[in-house]
Structure 1
Amino acid sequence: MTTDSTHFPGVTLLITHYNRSSSLERLLRTFRELNCTFDDIVVSDDGSKPEHLTVLRSLAKPYKFRLITTPQNKGLANNINKGQEAVKTPYTLYVQEDFIPKSAFATHFRDALAMMNEDDTLDIVRFYAYFAYPYLEPYKNGYSRMLYKPWYGDYNKIYYYSDHPHLRRSSFLDKFGRYVEGIKSDKTEYRMCLSFIKKKGKGLFLTDFNAMFEQKNSEDEPSTVTRSNWRHQNTNFFVIWGRALYRQIKYNYELLF
């Protein structure tokens, strides 16, 4: 084990991958350029095409990662489950292959790891988001504690958990259950959000959520996740109001039963 200050003991870097080997190499190369190392690296592949698997196998030795494969595509939930089950360290840094760590990564990650070690009630520390979690209480080291109460009005409160880059205890599946397989990735994430809240998960959120990672997709390796444009782009007041009311009722019902 290296004694370099940018080595993070007790942590496995878990990367989920599907048909984007160039993006994966970019992620691994950037961590190396930042001189950040971990006790282990697991790359969980979801049945990529042969040409991508060939690249992955060629990268495994120089980047010292364990490749976990499956003979056919089974979806993101299965990919995370089998990857997490291969982790042997107390902590998991989960990152999808299309993210790139920034120069501030080591500083913020070192703080996150220290806080997880200090407070065994913390289940997760989130590093990236498209928007800030709506209910935050300043904590320390540039992090905030995420707060959740059933009566909070912003329906984005449901995203207490996220598949975006985060640090978590490797016992995560034991406490919150396996990711639900056989459904779309956004529904899988939603189910985990519900489980995280129901089982009283606790976590921190990097207040400057663009400081550690950026997400980047190329024309050659575009995102494999598609979402409904109507849901995310409709600006009609009554549609927005009606959807917000529906979500509040739906979320609170699903959290009760």
Structure 2
Amino acid sequence: MTAHTFENITLLVTHYNRSSSLERLLSAMKMHGLGFAGIIVSDDGSSQEHFQKLTDLAAVYNFTLVGTEVNGGLGYNINKGQDAVKTPFTLYVQEDFIPSGRFATVLADSVALFNADQDLDLVRYFANFRFPYMKNFKKGFSKLLVPIFALDYHKIYAYSDNPHLRRSTFFEKFGRYREGLTGDRTEYYMCISFIKNKGKAVLYNGFKTLFKHVNTPSERSTMRRESWRSHDNPVLAFVRNAYRQVRYNYDILFKLTLISALYY
């Protein structure tokens, strides 16, 4: 296995009560020969059982553990983890993802994209659906376009918490993550900020091939959503999509300045 060490990248992993998932992620990174300038695991107040395993894993995988005594939510967890990064680039991955063997090559291509374009803010590797407005770019990536007057509300997800590489100066342009909110709302406000501040992102065309999202029965997702947000009932799905179509486009068109003034 060829080793790939990225001295200008820190791997940032957010974690909460899923230490076996974290071990699986780090083991896969090592198996694929991926090395970084450093690894930071930002823990959000896991139980004693999981925290003890984190300390054991830190000795094996040589990562820096950034913990807290009180669960502060996703925004707080990402913020304190990002604050500890010292390299030019941050590879952000949540603990329940597994990279494929092809990822090392794509990651090297990503650094080349950043070096060639100083305006590029985000290189994304995973998505749950195809972004509605894309333009073919290079090295297997497509640019994500955000036409303000286009109707498909999914355009708001040019930014995503799914695995991505970003400049470690990300906060300087887009602000810190909102704290004290649910994970979904935290991500939503960063999506708004990304659009407001004219974020530039690309998505790997094979966005289902580089990472696998795994939730095992013993370590299911800790994200809790109201049932109406994900229920597959046709009537609820129609109402949900209609609401998002109106609300998201309204926020993009009319609330970007207000949200910025209030929260950033």
Alpha-carbon offset, residue 256 of structure 1: 4.7
User: 1:8 and 1:166 mapped to 2: Cα distance?
Assistant: 15
Alpha-carbon offset, residue 231 of structure 1: 3.2
User: 1:223 and 1:241 mapped to 2: Cα distance?
Assistant: 23
Alpha-carbon offset, residue 104 of structure 1: 1.0
Is the 2:4–2:34 Cα contact (8 Å) retained in structure 1? yes
Alpha-carbon offset, residue 62 of structure 1: 1.7
- Helix, strand or coil for the counterpart of 1:209? coil
- Superposition pairs for residues 167-246 of structure 1, below 5 Å? 167-232=165-230, 233-236=232-235, 239=239, 242-243=242-243, 244-246=245-247
- Structure 2: give runs of 5+ residues left out of the alignment: 259-264
What is aligned with 1:100?
Answer: 98
Q: Which moved more, 1:185-194 or 1:223-232?
A: 223-232
Q: Which moved more, 1:15-24 or 1:226-235?
A: 226-235
Which of 117, 120, 125 is 1:119 aligned to?
117
User: 1:78 and 1:238 mapped to 2: Cα distance?
Assistant: 33
Is the 2:228–2:240 Cα contact (8 Å) retained in structure 1? no
- Superposition pairs for residues 40-51 of structure 1, below 5 Å? 40-51=38-49
Alpha-carbon offset, residue 255 of structure 1: 2.3
Alpha-carbon offset, residue 111 of structure 1: 0.8
What is aligned with 2:262?
Answer: none
Give the aligned residue type for 2:213.
Answer: Q
User: 1:76 and 1:139 mapped to 2: Cα distance?
Assistant: 32
Is the 1:27–1:100 Cα contact (8 Å) retained in structure 2? yes
- Helix, strand or coil for the counterpart of 2:8? strand
User: 1:114 and 1:235 mapped to 2: Cα distance?
Assistant: 44
The root-mean-square deviation of aligned C-alpha atoms, in Å, is 1.5
Alignment CA distance shift 1:246-1:199 (3 Å): closer
| Count of residues in correspondence between the two structures | 254
User: 1:61 and 1:241 mapped to 2: Cα distance?
Assistant: 46
Which of 22, 38, 54 is 2:36 aligned to?
38
Alpha-carbon offset, residue 234 of structure 1: 3.9
Is the 1:126–1:204 Cα contact (8 Å) retained in structure 2? yes
- Helix, strand or coil for the counterpart of 2:158? coil
Alignment CA distance shift 1:238-1:171 (3 Å): closer
Alpha-carbon offset, residue 6 of structure 1: 1.1
- Structure 1: give runs of 5+ residues left out of the alignment: none
- Helix, strand or coil for the counterpart of 2:58? helix
Alpha-carbon offset, residue 223 of structure 1: 0.2
User: 1:250 and 1:124 mapped to 2: Cα distance?
Assistant: 22
% same residue: 49
TM-score, normalised via structure 1 length: 0.94
- Helix, strand or coil for the counterpart of 1:133? coil
- Helix, strand or coil for the counterpart of 1:48? coil
Residue by residue, what CA displacement relative to the aligned partner does 1:213-253 show, whole Å, maximum 9, x if unpaired?
Answer: 01101111110012233233242386266322343234322
Alignment CA distance shift 1:60-1:242 (3 Å): closer
Is the 1:234–1:240 Cα contact (8 Å) retained in structure 2? no
What is aligned with 1:7?
Answer: 5
Residue by residue, what CA displacement relative to the aligned partner does 1:99-156 show, whole Å, maximum 9, x if unpaired?
Answer: 0001111111111111111111001001101001111100001100111121111100
Is the 2:6–2:36 Cα contact (8 Å) retained in structure 1? yes
User: 2:205 and 2:135 mapped to 1: Cα distance?
Assistant: 10
- Helix, strand or coil for the counterpart of 2:98? strand
Alignment CA distance shift 1:251-1:32 (3 Å): same
- 1:133 equivalent in alignment to 2:125: no
User: 1:45 and 1:119 mapped to 2: Cα distance?
Assistant: 33
User: 1:238 and 1:115 mapped to 2: Cα distance?
Assistant: 39
User: 2:170 and 2:241 mapped to 1: Cα distance?
Assistant: 35
- 1:251 equivalent in alignment to 2:249: no
Give the aligned residue type for 2:146.
Answer: Y
